[in-house]
Structure 1
Amino acid sequence: MSDYLKALALSSALSLASAPTQAAPPQGIRLVDARHKAIALPRPAQRIVSLQPSFTEAICALGGCQALVGVDRYSTWPMQATTLPQVGSIRDPDIERIIALQPDVVLARPNHRVDERLERLGITVLTLNAQSYEDMERELETLAQLLGRPGDGTRLWRQTRERLEALRRQMPAQWQGKKVYFELHSGMAAAGEASFIGQTLQSLGLVNIAGRDLPMYPKLSPEYVVRANPDLIITMADLPVPPPERQGWGRVTALRGNHYCRIPNAEFDVLVRPGPRIDEAARHIVQCLQRMPLPAGGMDASKR
């Protein structure tokens, strides 16, 4: 684990531990999930199976790692999660192994039929589906309540937003107001302005070429990107820049100025997971911009 992650984990743990935590109500835990379905547990969850890396990270950031008894194969943070039994993924869950772990609750995303299969077998499923900052705030507090720590999710989110604001102040002034294209899945999708990734970019003062009139994760044609002419492109490290098959991209301002962030795959995971480490995602972007040549005609620092 990097020094940053150690510091983040320690800071969150100390802050949450020192904050007053209300006891679970006598009637137990009552929540509403992403399906608008009421979920009831007689007490805070003691045995949790997570089928999504962002859920695993959130549970651990809230101090509940010890409640996890199984995780999906993509849960790689924190290190403690990698030692837990793996139960496949949201797309190919190992149902028999999940049952053998005797969970109080399984955390899943809706619309994958996993919830239906498990609930038919008598297992409680809580579905979550954060797509924006507002969703993430609610999701963190839902998980805090699941752990019997109401209020901790709201506090963790407030700390995260404070770190994001500090990172915005570290942005080179010349990048304020510049256009950005954030590519996902080798061009199969982009991060739209309304998505949580788009909100992170906006929080840093960047302007997304995939505006709010588009879906959260639209597929943008190469021609669209050329017309939008972004000043900055953010992709995974294994994608060649510019992609040889994309005609006209040599004219894009970002490529002519070598203004692109090719984020290593392991770090790219942090950028695309709607969890408690979005401030670390923002830090990767800020550090990339601090290293690259400055663009022409940026906003004056006094106007930020």
Structure 2
Amino acid sequence: MPIYTKKVIAALSLALLMPLTAATGEEICATDDTGQEVCLDEPAQRIVALSPGVTELLYAAGAGANVVAAVSHADYPEQAQDLPRVGSYNRLDVESILAKQPDLAIGWHSGNSPGQLDRLEELGVKVYRSEQRDLEDIPSTLERFGKLAGSSDEAQAEADEFRVRRDELEQRYAEGENVEVFYQVWDDPITTINDEQIISEVIRLCGGSNVFGHLERLTPRLDTESVLAADPQAIVVGGMGEANQAWLDKWREYERMTAVQQQNLFFVPPSKIQRPTPRLLEGAAKLCEQLEKAR
């Protein structure tokens, strides 16, 4: 028999003492991004968000008031900064999550520990696994979150607006002359993305192509020589902060690179392109303008 800490036992005991809620009608169900159907007897009132992106999506879907805890670095919108913390996205504090008595935990499928998400389910927590791989996944997620949280009207309005803005960008830029792009998501080791990652779709939306899109791994690691050999027409970095463009300094040393010669070295704040939320279109608009300049 597993040995639990007093904190876990207290949380489980309290949950058992709570009265069972009778279903008021049909179950509320939504299919998560792994194909698993998640069903609730009533809209979720106590949601734990297990990644910064999930937190932002919940607020955008009108469910912010229902979020009772989040992980570290969940900093948007401003209200989210005051939420209690239950660990980091890659190391959840299961005891703290249980203590919040959630009726729904929304995890990041490729970022959270699979074992910890499974453990939460074993302990009776409903778990929805979220993963956005293309732009349409963002409004679709908003709609599903709104359904589970009882905020469908606000979620639908946000989803509709996202689709309109996405289509406007596509109509304006997607047919432009191709620009070969290297996107850098991390610096040590040098890390990029392949064509299955959502940032590559943003690049295509702007009429560009990812020079490392063919690689098998979602976030491939590279060496400097690989980037030099690819000789991209533009280099775009996410940086280590909302205004820190230091990663571009390294590439300026390689004066024979096409991107350096043409001064096509660009920065996009990471929260506006590396989080799959409605703000991604702000980053997309900035990137499209940069690639237009590169043309």
> Normalized against structure 1, the TM-score is what?
0.76
Task: Give the partner amino acid of 1:43.
Answer: E
Structure 1: tracts of 5 or more residues without a match: 1-23, 299-304
Task: Give the partner amino acid of 1:123.
Answer: V
Q: Hey, what's the Cα distance between the residues in 2 that align with 1:232 and 1:169? A: 22
Q: Would the aligned equivalents of 2:190 and 2:223 in 1 still touch at CA under 8 Å? A: no
**Equivalent position of 1:242 in the other structure:** 250
Instruction: List structure 1 runs of 4+ shifted beyond 6 angstroms.
Output: none
Q: Would the aligned equivalents of 1:95 and 1:118 in 2 still touch at CA under 8 Å? A: yes
Q: Would the aligned equivalents of 1:194 and 1:212 in 2 still touch at CA under 8 Å? A: no
**Equivalent position of 1:227 in the other structure:** 229
Q: CA separation of 1:221/1:151 partners in 2, compared to 1, >3 Å: closer, same or farther?
A: farther
Task: Give the partner amino acid of 2:180.
Answer: K
Task: Give the partner amino acid of 2:191.
Answer: A
| Mapping 1:164-243, distance limit 5 Å | 164-167=166-169, 176-186=177-187, 187-212=189-214, 214-235=216-237, 236=239, 237-243=245-251
**Equivalent position of 1:45 in the other structure:** 44
**Equivalent position of 1:6 in the other structure:** none
- Deviations, residues 151-184 of structure 1 (Å, cap 9, x unaligned): 765553342132234445776x9x7411111011
Q: Hey, what's the Cα distance between the residues in 2 that align with 1:189 and 1:213? A: 12
Pairing 1:272–2:280 present: no
Which shows bigger deviation, 95-104 or 151-160?
151-160
Instruction: Report the alpha carbon displacement of residue 210 of structure 1 after superposing the two structures with TM.
Output: 2.0
Q: Hey, what's the Cα distance between the residues in 2 that align with 1:284 and 1:70? A: 32
Q: Percent identity among equivalent residues?
A: 26
- Deviations, residues 57-115 of structure 1 (Å, cap 9, x unaligned): 11111111111111111111100111111111222212222122111111112353221
Q: Would the aligned equivalents of 2:235 and 2:259 in 1 still touch at CA under 8 Å? A: yes
> Normalized against structure 2, the TM-score is what?
0.78
**Equivalent position of 2:164 in the other structure:** 162
Aligned length: 263
Q: CA separation of 1:153/1:224 partners in 2, compared to 1, >3 Å: closer, same or farther?
A: farther
**Equivalent position of 2:257 in the other structure:** 252
**What secondary structure is seen at the aligned counterpart in 2 of 1:113?**
helix
Q: Would the aligned equivalents of 2:169 and 2:205 in 1 still touch at CA under 8 Å? A: no
Which shows bigger deviation, 152-161 or 192-201?
152-161
Q: Hey, what's the Cα distance between the residues in 2 that align with 1:212 and 1:152? A: 38
**Equivalent position of 1:31 in the other structure:** 30
Q: Would the aligned equivalents of 1:180 and 1:232 in 2 still touch at CA under 8 Å? A: yes
| Mapping 1:5-154, distance limit 5 Å | 26-110=25-109, 111-150=113-152, 153=155
**What secondary structure is seen at the aligned counterpart in 1 of 2:182?**
strand
Superposed CA RMSD in Å reads 2.8
